[in-house]
Amino acid sequence: MLCCFTVFIFCPTQFHNLQELRHSASLANKVFIQRDYSEGTTCRFQTKFPSELESRIELTLFEETVKTLNNFYAEAEKIGGQSYLEGCLACATAYLIFLCMETRYEKVLKKIAKYIQEQNEKIYAPRGLLITDPIERGMRVIEISIYEDRGSSGSSSGSSSVSGSTAR
């Protein structure tokens, strides 16, 4: 199942799927995308492209991921007819209704989990990256782990030290 690793000049390694990532890579660095509070306390993440990822992934892909996540969170926290209805119904039933029903927020969070899983599989893992669902980090950050191939020699470890030092 081990695939062949293609070492590019800039992009160190290429992984074919998450499994290979796990078995043959080592964690080199983690990048944290912080929250963007400029619009208040609603959940939004900064779309600024971190320098550590410059050599790893295209700007457009990254931005699209973050923007989609932001949209999901906006949808979850949206205050409108449906949320009012849910709130009033819950109050009327003394909040017992949540024993049988999922809140809208939870439904959206499930969608987000699926989306992140899909993004990881299709886009990030092949580039040696892994996104952690923000809910696991208390919705503070989007954690992107950067993996380096354990197996290959000099060049990739050289590039990892380069990327490591730029992160400092």
Partner 1 sequence: MHLGESMRECEYSQISTRSSTPMETPYKKRTPKRKKWEAFPGRNKFYCDGRIMMAKQTGVFYLTLVLILVTCGLFFTFDCPFLAQELTPIIPVLGGALFLFVLGTLLRTSFSDPGVLPRATPDEAADLERQIDVANGTTGYRPPPRTKEVVINGQTVKLKYCFTCKIFRPPRASHCSLCDNCVERFDHHCPWVGNCVGRRNYRFFYMFILSLSFLTIFIFAFVITHIILSSYRKGFLTALKESPASVLEVVVCFFSVWSIVGLSGFHTYLISSNQTTNEDIKGSWSSKRGKDNYNPYSSGNIFTNCCMALCGPLPPSLIDRRGFIEADAPQMAPPTNGITMYGATHSQQSHMAAATPLLQQQSSEPVIITSSPENGTSLPARASLTLGGPCTSLPLGQPTPPTSTPSLSCHEAADMLPIHGHTLNHTHPLQEQAAVHHYLTPEEVPSPPGMLHCGSPLGHSHTVQASFYNPASQDSLHEDSVRGLVKLSSV
Which spans of this chain sit near partner 1 (rule: CB under 8 A)?
A: 18, 21-22, 27-32, 35, 37-41, 76-79, 83-84, 86-88, 90-91, 94-96, 98-99, 102-106, 109-110, 113, 116-117, 120, 130-133, 135-141, 143, 145, 164, 167-168
Q: How far is the CB of 19 from partner 1 (least distance, A)?
A: 9
Q: How far is the CB of 34 from partner 1 (least distance, A)?
A: 8
Q: How far is the CB of 98 from partner 1 (least distance, A)?
A: 5
Long-range pairs of 128-132 with CB within 8 A, sequence gap ≥ 24: 128/12, 128/13, 128/14, 128/15, 128/21, 128/25, 128/56, 129/53, 129/56, 129/57, 130/18, 130/21, 131/65
35 in Cβ contact with 74 (< 8 Å): no
Would you say 83 or 152 has its CB closer to partner 1?
83
- The two three-digit tokens of residue 42, written as one number: 């609603």
